[in-house]
Structure 1
């Protein structure tokens, strides 16, 4: 499906009114701003509110998607391939498909815009992680990543 007309998503709101909270990988909230349903699955854009100081996803790859982040608030450390970058408000980072990457939130509060092209299964991924009721095992995390066209290739980044 392709949305034929433009639309507005207000600050603090999500495209379809659902705020996803990841449980297990991080405790971040993700709001869909532009859905894959709006773009014939060519693009998905989320606002991620970071609630996980010193936390982040495991090192992973997206075989079929490019990803980029724009930092609105707070600080992060990103790894892309072998390179590490400290990110502050106003910084942008591009994570090409098939390149291992991860991040860790360095500040108490943080907020980024994150985009996936094509959209892939990211909306479904965040919906699944929102439904976890207890911390998942490493094996469960790896399976959910695999089910959503990602592959865990290492542990989360550590601060220090």
Structure 2
């Protein structure tokens, strides 16, 4: 992922990145952004996009939007896929991406990811497990991560 226009560059109005995906056997976890809209332009390859429960195939040249609050996930359909992606407003999305990258470098387990997701609930929320389970579970995992210095 390469930042094309940072939060600082746009005064917080948006964040623009260029992202690359490689083929995946399954979709990553479905999530939503409670207060942000996303705009994508597929530059190369094909992207499998699950939006609100419906899967679509987006190819180079396709443009699509994901409004705030809509559940979604995406993965490369085949080979390498690149897209330009805008998130508005930016909020703390750059910090979220940095935290997720660090968590993946530590192994990417739920123990690694839960504290990041919990700290960035204004930017992103997983759709499963339900919030009534997710809140206490992620709180406990966050404490365990601190104890284990993860």
TM-score of the superposition, structure 1-length normalised? 0.71
Is the 8 Å Cα contact of residues 54 and 106 (structure 1) preserved in structure 2?
no
Match of 1:44 in 2: 15
Is the 8 Å Cα contact of residues 30 and 128 (structure 2) preserved in structure 1?
yes
Name the SS of the counterpart of 1:135 in structure 2: coil
CA apart distance, 1:81: 0.7
Match of 1:151 in 2: 125
Is the 8 Å Cα contact of residues 22 and 75 (structure 2) preserved in structure 1?
no
Name the SS of the counterpart of 1:50 in structure 2: strand
Q: Larger radius of gyration, structure 1 or 2?
A: 2
CA apart distance, 1:140: 3.7
Is the 8 Å Cα contact of residues 142 and 152 (structure 1) preserved in structure 2?
no
Is the 8 Å Cα contact of residues 21 and 75 (structure 2) preserved in structure 1?
no
TM-score of the superposition, structure 2-length normalised? 0.75
RMSD over equivalenced CA pairs, Å: 1.9
Question: For residues 48-87 of structure 1, what are the structure 2 equivalents within 5 Å?
Answer: 48-54=19-25, 56-87=27-58
Is the 8 Å Cα contact of residues 53 and 109 (structure 1) preserved in structure 2?
no
CA apart distance, 1:76: 1.2
Q: Which moved more, 1:121-130 or 1:88-97?
A: 121-130
Is the 8 Å Cα contact of residues 54 and 105 (structure 1) preserved in structure 2?
no
Q: Does 1:130 align with 2:101?
A: yes
Q: Distance in 1 between matches of 2:106 and 2:112?
A: 11
Q: Distance in 2 between matches of 1:108 and 1:142?
A: 29
Long gaps (5+) in structure 2: 130-150
Name the SS of the counterpart of 1:141 in structure 2: helix
Equivalenced residue count is 126
CA apart distance, 1:106: 1.1
